[in-house]
Structures are given as structure tokens and as C-alpha cells.
Structure 1
């Protein structure tokens, strides 16, 4: 008799909240550098918006010489760009902060990566023209809801400095992994801002406006701001560029292993330059060794997969660490930069395993 077939076991999202929906990518089980949309993490502030592709128009107004109202067909006819980009929620790893901070208690899975296709935002702004005095580009989403701290209804809106908006790789995307962007990830149009935390990559774009002042919406002036002090807002500054970071995917935290050979695997990424080195320690930081990195031709906006071969000679408990360095000289610190809202965690990654 033939052996019975084993059921196919597939990873699934980890739920952090249902209303609004916030779910983590099972990053420890992702073996590809492209995350399928069903496993792409979901970060929402409000309920999903109601949208119809058939009557979708994108207005561009404000300090422009020729305001525009573009249809999807207009956008699809424009020259496109395709980029592989990692998107990381600025609250990724928030649950690891000590002392604890309030907010969605993300573990290590508020990060995903895939292939985005769209129109450079600069091409749209060149089409409309930018008037003198323009400072920022505001992108408004269709998602909205009440903020209980302000007792008022807001749409999710964010701005970019003109220089960042005009970067050739800042794009209005309409495809993810060669398919229309899935609804839960911003269909039909999503802003993609490589190298910045993903709050900048506004979903379900409703409007683009050029302004001559600094935008002060609550998702820019209250949220997504680093507050280093528990007691007050002194020395606050905005969340923007992704910090250099790494995550150990294998083995899993608290795994029980046999003595002998094992492969430690993970990913590393940064918002400045590229990752140039990943180091691994199997003795809680007393000694470090370089990991092997899997490079492609252009890793500007991608994570790097890395691996390290480890031979366990003795039984016991081990603390395994990973530490990434990028081309600007940034290295993951031993301790995170604590801030009141829990953004930008990028301390040396750590797991514990036991050998029996």
C-alpha cells in the first residue's frame, strides 16, 4: 500500500486586530524574496473604504499650473516603472520595546516585499507643472474614520517633501507582483515610497495636492513622530527613513535542536544605501562571524537574504544574535532607540534555542 498523502501545510497571517484589520506576515516561514499578496501584512487605521474601479478618477491640484483629473486609462498609458521594494510598518517589532509602549503589538512580521509597477509621481507632477513656492505633496487616501483622541473624522493623509516626491522611484503603483494591486493593499492606486517606512505609502489614493506650507494632518503631526520623552513632546522628530535592521527566520525562537550542523537564516534591510554586512553570534554577543549574503545586481530597495552555518558541539541553551551594517556605516545597536509611540525598532535581533 502506498503511504497516505500528508496534508499541505501553508503559513497564514497572524492577527493583531480585526476592526480595523491588522495582520502580520509569517516572516519566519517566508522563503522567497517576493511575498504573495495573501501573506502581505495588513496595516489599517480604519475600516476598508468602498471603491469602484469603473468611476475612478485621480485629481491633482493645488500649486500646479494645470490641474488634472486623470482616469485609470490615462495612467496606464503613461511610461511605467517596475521596482522590487520592501515595505515595513514603522511599528514593526514594537512588542520588543522595554519598557512597553502602547499601540499595535507587532512582533517581527509587519514587513513584506514584492514587485510594484506604476507611474513615477514626478511624471505626473511634470504633467501638471509645479508653481513656485511649492513645499510638499499631500496624498489623501479614501480610508477614513473617527480619531477618538481628537473626536473628529479624518481621512488618512500624508505629505512628502517636494524633493522626495520628485525622486524618480517614488511612484503611483497600480500593480503588485504583476497583477492589479489587491484591494486590501490599496487598489486601484497606492503610493510607493522606497526606503521610507510604509506609513508614507498611502493606500487607495483619492487626491494629490501640492501645498506651499508644512502639512499638519494628525497622521503626520501626532502619529508617526518619534517622542523620546515619556513626559512631554520635547525633541520630537518625524518618522521617515527605515533603520538598518535584520531578522532571524530560522531557527525559530525557543526551538529545541540536536547537536550537529544547523543553518541560521534570515533577512536584512535598510533605508539608506545597501546592506553590506550581516554578522551572527551564537554566544550572546561574545564573538561574531560574518554571514553569507545572497546579493542580486541592485539591492537598493530590497531585503538581503543571509545564512550562517553553525555546528553545535555541546548540549545547552544558546542565545543567537544577528546584526546588519549598511553602506552608510549604520549598524544595528545593542539597545533600541526607545520612543513613546514605539516606532523604528532596530536593535540587534535575538532568539534563544536549546540543544539536547
Structure 2
């Protein structure tokens, strides 16, 4: 009899809805919309998409408001990319930090189709003084640190905004983007943590100054010190990282042969290798990369482990990329708990 059980989302918060992908049970390259992790700062927005228009203004030569039909008629671009919440694995920081205690599932991968942001800006032109491009979403609410209402807004430096793979997406895995993931239009910024990929785009503004919105200047900033802002710097590119999907942590196994498996990803180049240790980091062996590394995408890996002795074992994985970065033994602690990318660890018992 076929097993009809299916994985389900792991809830971290209900309002706003924040749920993890059941990453340990996902074997597909593309994750469907129902199992794509959900990260929200506010309740879902209310707007009528039937009359959707996208204004592009600011320090541009020809301000323009695009209809959805116009955008759908522009030359398309499709990008397969992993999106990772900057708070992914926050729950593993020591000492603990405040915020949703994400484990390993605030990460998903899919295929996004849309139009390059660059294409829209070519229609409007940009002034020579332009420094950044603000993308504002329809989601808004009151921040606890200021008791003020804010829309979720982020900016990109001009060079990142004009990269051809920075796209305004309208399809996910060949279908319209699900509402909970940004329908009808979502910004997709490959290589960066997903806070940059603004959902439910409301407007685009080109500016000639540094954007200081709270989701840019307060949140999504690394604060290395607990009691001061000294040494702070912005959260941008994803760090080299890996996750052990199987076996699960604290699982009981029999002696014999087991296939260890997982994923690895980076925001800087390509994953070049994944290594596995089954003795707590004393010895390391190369895992097999199941698929050819692609820019922006996860690599699946596996390792054949034959265990003959009973006892407790610490299994670890670490990845390296073409930029020369390797997963560190310990993640860089920071006050808001962003960018955790320490060597992954699970512990099992063999009986």
C-alpha cells in the first residue's frame, strides 16, 4: 500500500504568518507554492489586482505607470533561484537572540519568470545622480519599535537594480505567483537574502540619496555587538551554507549502510564541494554532488555511510564555493540573528 502522507508547513507565527518549508522531506528541485516558506512582517495586504498599475518615478527622465498587460508583453526572463530568509537557522545562535526562532526551513527554491527591472528603467531613463532604487510593497503595519505605520520597502544600489537577473516576476514554476508569495508582481534579487525580494510591489522610486527606511537601516543590519551599534553593516549576499536533510536529528538507526543527504547553496558563485564528517569533525570525506552546480541554485548532495558499531554519532556537513568561502565552525553572532551559516550538525544513535 502506497504511503499517502505528505509533508506540511512548520508554523513559527500565525499573525503575521511565518511558516517553514519542511525542508527535510523535500527531494524536488523546485518547491511548490504551498510548501514555499512564508515570511511576513505584517498581515497580508488587501488590494484589487484587476486594476493593477505599477508606477515608476523619482529621478527619472520620463515617469511612467505600467499596466500589468504592458509588463506581461515585455521581453521575459526566467530565473531559477533559491530564496533564503535572512533569519533562517536563527534558532541555533548561542547565545539566543530575539525574533522568530527559525530552524532550517526558511529556504525554498523555484523558477521565477518576469521582466528585468532594468527593462522598466530603460523606458523611464534614470538621472545621472541616481544612487538607489526603492521598491515598496502593499504590505504595511505598525512597527513595535516606533509605533508608526510603515509599508515594507527596500532599496537596491543602481548596479544591483540594473543587473539583468534582478527581475519583476509574475510567474512561479510556470503559473501566476501565488498570492501569499507576492501576486501579482514580486521583485526577485538572486544571491541576496530574500528580504530584498519585495512582494506585492506597489511602486518603484529612483532616488539620488541613501534610503533610510526601517527595513533597510534598522532591520536587516548585522549588529555584531550586543549593547551598541558599533561595527554594523547591511545584510545582503547569502553566505555559503548547507543543510543535512537525512537523517533527522536524534534519529535512531540500525547498523548497516545509510545514505546521508542534503542541500548546499551560496550567494557568491557556485558550490564547489560538500564534505561530511561522521565523527564530530575529526575526519572529513567528500560527498557526491547529485546535480551539476548552477548559479543561484541549490546543489543536492549525498554520502554513503556504512556504520558497524553501535553508539552515538555526530554527523556534520560543510560546503565551499568558487569564491573561496567555506562554512565556518561557528556562525558570526549578531544581535538580530541574521545569516547563520555554521557547519550543520545532527546527532544520531545507532543500535
| Range into which the TM-score falls when normalised by the shorter chain | over 0.9
Counterpart of 2:347 in structure 1 is 352
Residue 9 (structure 1) aligned with residue 5 (structure 2): yes
User: 1:127 offset after TM fit, Å?
Assistant: 1.1
Are residues 1:156 and 2:152 paired? yes
The counterpart of 1:222, out of the listed 198, 207, 218, is: 218
Asked whether 1:185 is paired with 2:201, we answer: no
In the alignment, what sits opposite 1:318? 313
Farther-moved stretch of structure 1 (173-182 vs 287-296): 287-296
Deviations 1:41-81 (A, max 9, x none): 00000000012221100000001111010011000100000
Specify the alignment match of 2:268 in structure 1. Answer: 272
Matches within 5 A, 1:23-34: 23-34=19-30
TM-score, length basis structure 1: 0.98
Task: State the partner residue of 2:68.
Answer: 72
Q: What residue in structure 1 maps to residue 208 of structure 2?
A: 212
Q: Helix, strand or coil for the counterpart of 2:121?
A: helix
Q: Per the alignment, in what secondary structure is the counterpart of residue 324 of structure 1? A: strand
**Structure 1 alignment gaps of length 5 or more:** none
TM-score normalised by the chain length of structure 2: 0.99
CA RMSD of aligned residues (A): 0.8
Residue 294 (structure 1) shift: 2.1
CA distance in 2, matches of 1:6, 1:207: 48
**In structure 2, what is the equivalent of residue 59 of structure 1?**
55
Alignment of 1:77-226 (within 5 A): 77-226=73-222
Aligned mate of 1:247, from 236, 243, 249:
243
Please report how far the alpha carbon of residue 6 of structure 1 lies from its aligned counterpart in structure 2 after TM superposition. Answer: 5.5
Quick one: distance in 2 between partners of 1:188 and 1:89? 21
Structure 2 SS opposite 1:50: coil
Aligned to 2:233: 237
CA apart distance, 1:94:
0.1
The 5 Å alignment of 1:320-335 reads 320-335=315-330
Mapped partners of 1:346, 1:210: distance in 2: 33
SS at match of 1:133: coil
SS of aligned partner of 1:353 = strand
CA distance in 2, matches of 1:355, 1:54: 58
Question: Structure 1 stretches (4+) deviating beyond 3 angstroms?
Answer: none
Tell me how far apart the structure 2 counterparts of residues 16 and 23 of structure 1 sit (CA, whole Å): 5
SS at the partner of 2:272?
strand
Q: Distance in 2 between matches of 1:105 and 1:214?
A: 31
Match of 1:307 in 2: 302
SS in 1 for 2:257: strand
d(CA) in 2 for partners of 1:26, 1:51: 30
| Structure 2 CA distance for aligned equivalents of residues 83 and 69 of structure 1 | 25
What secondary structure sits across from 1:59 in the alignment? strand
Deviation at 1:255, TM superposition (A): 0.6
Q: CA deviation at 1:303?
A: 0.4
CA deviation profile, 1:269-308 (whole Å, cap 9, x unmatched): 0000000000000000000000000233x61010000000
How many matched pairs?
351
